[in-house]
Structure 1
Amino acid sequence: MGKFEKEASVLLDAVGGKDNISAVSHCATRMRFVLVDESKANVAAIETISAVKGTFTNAGQFQVIIGNDVPLFYNDFTAVSGIEGVSKEAAKAAAKSNQNAIQRVMTMLAEIFTPIIPAIIVGGLILGFRNVLEGVQWSALGGKTIVDVSPFWSGVNHFLWLPGEAIFHFLPVGITWSVARKMGTTQILGIVLGICLVSPQLLNAYAVAGTPAKEIAENWVWNFGSFTINRIGYQAQVIPALLAGLSLSYLEIFWRKRIPEVVSMIFVPFLSLIPALILAHTILGPFGWAVGKALSTVVLAGLTGSFKWLFGAVFGALYAPFVITGLHHMTNAIDSQLIADSGGTGLWPMIALSNIAQGSAVFAYYWMNRKSEREAQISLPATISAYLGVTEPALFGVNVKYVYPFVAGMIGSGLAGLLSTMFNVTANAIGIGGIPGILSIQAQYMLPFAGIMLVAIIVPFVLTIFFRKAGILTKSEDATVKAPQVEAIAEAKKEAASENGLVDLFSPMAGTIKPLSQATDPVFASGVMGQGVLMEPSQGQVVAPFDGTVSVLFPTKHAIGLVSDAGVEVLIHIGMDTVSLDGKGFEAHVKQGDRVAAGDALINFDMAVIKAAGLVTETPIIVTNQEQFQPDVVGQLPRQVKRGESLLTASRI
């Protein structure tokens, strides 16, 4: 009998039986199910299984978190169920068939926008900084701006225009590249198509409204004798770039299937790029521009119309649920279109306020549980992350889990959204969320926005405490999942120390360590898999953090589990979603069951390969048997570490 045969049998029944499973796979930490009917999954029963650490639904997949033992559990599950597992990519493909049309669109938008978000954030920060330099009139400077009185800062402001323009004016290049990457087609063709949408040889999109139709007809057309095509650019336009990129990818896929491989290098790129370019400038571009214009007009009417207070209240309250479902990715396109059409967006301020409100709700939870070391390790970093614009750790780690902080955050965010629309608060750019979002607000609205930020901070904080004390919306299990208090943990550490139970974990990698709550994967960020740190590696080598045994090495070599001689179980997961690389860029120097000493080489990995695939290299290093060992970080976070430096201490509880 397998180690998890009994639990696997219970799980099979709890997910609705064999007939309810369309596909099943696993990664380094969890089982991934594509269910025919998700409503048949008994989540409460699943989470009572001793081997299960939680459940999570994302992009059409029902994920059951197991931990280091997931390969053993998976083997026992396939044996019990008689279901043959599939690859992660096959499971994702099956998951898409389990999504409705809206979910599939949202998943596609998420996969297209996610790789370009870092550039958007940088661009937003740059424009926000330029906003302070040239848009704010300081009383200390006699009512003048910084650039008016300082040649140096005037030069800095002028210089920063260059990357700001590159990111936002040439956004279509990033979008068409990302579409090609997502569709698995030739990325350089996507880049070329994007350049053809924003070339200086075209009439700049920002100048179209101010250019008479007669001048466009005379000077900005391609003349083919019997007909002409407008020679107009699509700077900062999102929907035309999306449609053009998709047309290019589908054309390439079409021709790949029909042109012999021996001549495909010649004909496939030509027959894909040229028709896509023609479609972009004749049908898709104008159509996408019209759709984007209509969409921004509708949203702008909601932001400025008679019922703008209602629009603001509803959008402000619902943005956090949008984040959970993935619908929030649509706002990137709407925000960009609003900025292109009207010179600013009223949505982004409400998004920043929603970040702050959810951060304040989790901060109130931290305040009520600040004497619980484990709860503090999750909730305080999640607060900081949300205040800086990343809410997933707060949402998945605390707020959604306990409901009442989530609702308190929604109420505060709704009130803040109402006030934001009433004061017509508008942002120049997107990318900076949370409290730093004030940098992107147009200068004349900065003071009202600062006041509204206080509402987003105070209201959710007070409501969260009130709901807790009044027992409103509190889940019954909330009172039973509290971690041991500081005194109990201190006593456990004292006993562990007296029994020589403290275990030192040395850094297995070189780089920057950060709070685990900053992980992009909400399962790791929430701490449900275990506590530890997040490493941003500077070199592609992993070494043993202690003397012990390799308990699990995944075939894709992207994750490794070890057990110290004292019994501490550690998981090192290199990058996020790197299982999709199927081992490319990874080289293992050990195998499962090997004995290792601290400092022994475990895995080498190529960071360039990971980044070229659009993935992140951030690496969670966590103690997975946290019910037996309490991990504590050595030193302050964030900080630089070298391989072999002290990283964590684990004490038996």
Structure 2
Amino acid sequence: MAKYTADAEKLLQLIGGKENISSVTHCATRMRFVLQNPEDADVKEIEMLTAVKGTFTQAGQFQVIIGNDVQEFYNEFTRIAGVEGVNKDEVKTDAKKNMSILQRMLAALAEIFTPLIPAIVVGGLILGFRNVIGDIDLLQNGTKTIAEVYPFWNGVYSFLWLIGEAIFHFLPVGITWSIAKKMGTTQILGIVLGLTLVSPQLLNAYAVASTKAADIPVWDFGFTQIPMIGYQAQVIPAMLAGFMLAYLEIGLRKFVPNAISMIVIPFFALVPTVLAAHVILGPIGWKIGDAIAHVVYSGLTSSLSWLFAALFGFLYAPLVVTGLHHMTNAIDLQLMSQFGGTNLWPMIALSNIAQGSAVLAIIFLHKGNEKEEQVSIPATISCYLGVTEPAMFGINLKYLYPFIAAMIGSSIAAVISVSSGVMANSIGVGGLPGILSIKPQFYLIFAFCMLVAIVVPFILTIVFRKYNILNKVDDAPIRTFGAKEFRTSSRKADNL
């Protein structure tokens, strides 16, 4: 640990001293601080430290990129600073004091959907595979599917729906559980609430549109009747019900004596919530979800779809920087429920690829910068696998021009994707593997979109650097495709 002693001491000083640290932890590659006064941190000097490969601030946390030795650095830093580290959940809680109300709302949304993403990704891949073997006429001169010709694959097609149905039709169970977990309330009550929204005794949400009003089953209370409608795959009804249950339980805890809390709290939290979910929250949430989905879908299928796509493709990366991108998960899921797929998510995958390609161009331009490559190479790989934050905060935003180049490339690829009607089965791995979640009939055109998202940002980044477009900080020697290197520090962008 001695090799990090000097840098740890300097970092403590540059971050504003021990008294400026509210809490600290680390993840796989970064030190994560919540600072009393974030403006006291000398970012430029911190980034000059040998052990530091970059910094960025996100969700109220000041994060210092160290690399794979972060555990060793962290141990030395906490020893020198005389502070005790906390776990990541405690840091997130502490960081909320540095966040606006909007940022807190978005952070809450992210915390709800993040635990669900692995299942949704798997579900998307399963739906894509089922489409290939059971819904596309590939055999016997394009007249039969693989499942129709081969009994084995017919069995696979049928079996995989067991998993697909569990993930998407029963999604409200995951949402209400996740809300209970996030709010610190009783998780099993969240699960029970979710199950009451998708119970087999209810009319399946997918069958509501084709069922006559007189044929919809009801609970008859004599003085009133309540439609027995399920909320399979519905996002907003589940969220409204989940939050009502959580806040009821939290409120009841304040005045119900411990001696009877085990009986009183679950009953008076769960029963009113289930009733409200089917009488008020469910119908309202359904209409809100429908409205949002139709607005987005209409924007992506109207005569101005190219403009919508261009703007979304261009602005998605800045949304990630602000944290606003978390709202797209709910929209994607609503689109899947309403239209059997999402044309929004493919653009997100393309944006991730574009950011990675811009970093790839920086690697080419700055070849030999070993310190930067410790950030840029893993960041590129991370982008191509769907995680863009290391690339954007560690490289692209630092120089700006690669960030803009990626936004332009993403915008062009998004226009092609939307104009071609590309649809994904569901949310997937948001980088190169994202093609596995695309509906099979769009594989070729989406592959072309991916190529655009790779080539355009790469070329634009090199062009922007060569002519100092949007470049105010990068004056390092760069490489061309020939053997000759050139330096452009005397032609700063300030003169453009």
TM-score interval (norm. to shorter): 0.7 to 0.9
Which deviates more from structure 2 when the two are superposed, residues 296-305 or residues 92-101? 92-101
**CA–CA distance in 2 between the matches of 1:415 and 1:246?**
39
**CA–CA distance in 2 between the matches of 1:254 and 1:181?**
16
**CA–CA distance in 1 between the matches of 2:15 and 2:432?**
43
**CA–CA distance in 1 between the matches of 2:326 and 2:49?**
34
User: Which residue of 2 is the match for residue 263 of structure 1?
Assistant: 260
Is 2:229 the partner of 1:232? Answer: yes
- The residue type paired with residue 173 of structure 2 is V
**CA–CA distance in 2 between the matches of 1:8 and 1:384?**
31
**CA–CA distance in 1 between the matches of 2:333 and 2:369?**
43
Q: Deviation of residue 107 (structure 1)? A: 0.2
Relative distance call for 1:52 and 1:140 in structure 2 (3 A) is: same
Which deviates more from structure 2 when the two are superposed, residues 137-146 or residues 95-104? 137-146
Q: Deviation of residue 365 (structure 1)? A: 2.9
Query: Do the aligned partners of 2:313 and 2:407 also contact (CA within 8 Å) in 1?
Result: yes
Relative distance call for 1:12 and 1:329 in structure 2 (3 A) is: same
Q: Deviation of residue 125 (structure 1)? A: 1.0
**CA–CA distance in 1 between the matches of 2:413 and 2:136?**
23
Q: 1:331 aligns with which of 324, 328, 332?
A: 328
- Partner of 1:275, secondary structure, is helix
Relative distance call for 1:164 and 1:94 in structure 2 (3 A) is: same
User: Which residue of 1 is the match for residue 190 of structure 2?
Assistant: 190
User: Which residue of 2 is the match for residue 24 of structure 1?
Assistant: 22
**CA–CA distance in 2 between the matches of 1:130 and 1:337?**
21
Query: Do the aligned partners of 1:135 and 1:443 also contact (CA within 8 Å) in 2?
Result: no
User: Which residue of 1 is the match for residue 476 of structure 2?
Assistant: 479
Is 2:153 the partner of 1:153? Answer: yes
**CA–CA distance in 2 between the matches of 1:443 and 1:259?**
55
Deviations 1:76-104 (A, max 9, x none): 7689xxxx999876654443233222211
- The residue type paired with residue 33 of structure 2 is R
Identity %: 59
Query: Do the aligned partners of 2:193 and 2:270 also contact (CA within 8 Å) in 1?
Result: yes
Q: Give the number of aligned pairs.
A: 467
User: Which residue of 1 is the match for residue 118 of structure 2?
Assistant: 118
**CA–CA distance in 1 between the matches of 2:56 and 2:471?**
20
Q: Deviation of residue 337 (structure 1)? A: 0.5
Provide TM-score, normalisation by structure 2: 0.84
- Partner of 1:479, secondary structure, is coil
Q: How does 1:309-348 map to 2 (within 5 A)?
A: 309-348=306-345
User: Which residue of 2 is the match for residue 279 of structure 1?
Assistant: 276
Deviations 1:578-615 (A, max 9, x none): xxxxxxxxxxxxxxxxxxxxxxxxxxxxxxxxxxxxxx
User: Which residue of 2 is the match for residue 104 of structure 1?
Assistant: 104
Relative distance call for 1:350 and 1:99 in structure 2 (3 A) is: same
**CA–CA distance in 1 between the matches of 2:344 and 2:180?**
28
- The residue type paired with residue 183 of structure 1 is M
Which deviates more from structure 2 when the two are superposed, residues 264-273 or residues 386-395? 386-395
Relative distance call for 1:127 and 1:10 in structure 2 (3 A) is: closer
- Partner of 1:24, secondary structure, is strand
Is 2:211 the partner of 1:211? Answer: yes
Relative distance call for 1:354 and 1:35 in structure 2 (3 A) is: same
Query: Do the aligned partners of 2:306 and 2:415 also contact (CA within 8 Å) in 1?
Result: yes
Which deviates more from structure 2 when the two are superposed, residues 396-405 or residues 139-148? 139-148
**CA–CA distance in 1 between the matches of 2:236 and 2:12?**
46
Q: 1:360 aligns with which of 354, 357, 360?
A: 357
**CA–CA distance in 1 between the matches of 2:279 and 2:45?**
56
- The residue type paired with residue 301 of structure 1 is S
Q: Deviation of residue 375 (structure 1)? A: 5.2
**CA–CA distance in 2 between the matches of 1:431 and 1:31?**
28
Query: Do the aligned partners of 2:179 and 2:243 also contact (CA within 8 Å) in 1?
Result: yes
Relative distance call for 1:344 and 1:77 in structure 2 (3 A) is: same
Q: How does 1:462-473 map to 2 (within 5 A)?
A: 462-473=459-470
**CA–CA distance in 2 between the matches of 1:269 and 1:391?**
41
Is 2:15 the partner of 1:11? Answer: yes
Q: Deviation of residue 222 (structure 1)? A: 0.9
Relative distance call for 1:382 and 1:149 in structure 2 (3 A) is: farther
User: Which residue of 1 is the match for residue 396 of structure 2?
Assistant: 399
Q: Deviation of residue 145 (structure 1)? A: 2.7
Query: Do the aligned partners of 2:399 and 2:473 also contact (CA within 8 Å) in 1?
Result: no
Query: Do the aligned partners of 1:25 and 1:86 also contact (CA within 8 Å) in 2?
Result: yes
User: Which residue of 2 is the match for residue 292 of structure 1?
Assistant: 289
- The residue type paired with residue 201 of structure 1 is Q
- The residue type paired with residue 386 of structure 2 is G
Query: Do the aligned partners of 1:125 and 1:432 also contact (CA within 8 Å) in 2?
Result: no
- Partner of 1:428, secondary structure, is coil
User: Which residue of 2 is the match for residue 446 of structure 1?
Assistant: 443
Relative distance call for 1:179 and 1:360 in structure 2 (3 A) is: same
Relative contact order: is structure 1 or structure 2 higher (C-alpha 8 Å, sep ≥ 6)? Answer: 2
**CA–CA distance in 2 between the matches of 1:208 and 1:304?**
25
Q: Deviation of residue 187 (structure 1)? A: 1.0
Q: Deviation of residue 228 (structure 1)? A: 1.3
**CA–CA distance in 2 between the matches of 1:35 and 1:87?**
18
Deviations 1:8-59 (A, max 9, x none): 455328xxx97xx6x71122563623446x5665532544567866433122
- The residue type paired with residue 11 of structure 1 is I
Q: 1:419 aligns with which of 410, 416, 438?
A: 416
Which 5+ residue runs of structure 2 have no aligned equivalent?
480-496
Deviations 1:441-479 (A, max 9, x none): 334433332322222222112112222333333453562
Query: Do the aligned partners of 1:236 and 1:336 also contact (CA within 8 Å) in 2?
Result: yes
- The residue type paired with residue 392 of structure 1 is E
Q: Deviation of residue 374 (structure 1)? A: 5.9
Query: Do the aligned partners of 2:139 and 2:146 also contact (CA within 8 Å) in 1?
Result: no
Which 5+ residue runs of structure 1 have no aligned equivalent?
483-653
User: Which residue of 2 is the match for residue 631 of structure 1?
Assistant: none
Q: Deviation of residue 330 (structure 1)? A: 1.0
Query: Do the aligned partners of 2:219 and 2:225 also contact (CA within 8 Å) in 1?
Result: yes
CA RMSD of aligned residues (A): 3.2
Normalized per residue, the structure richer in helix is 2
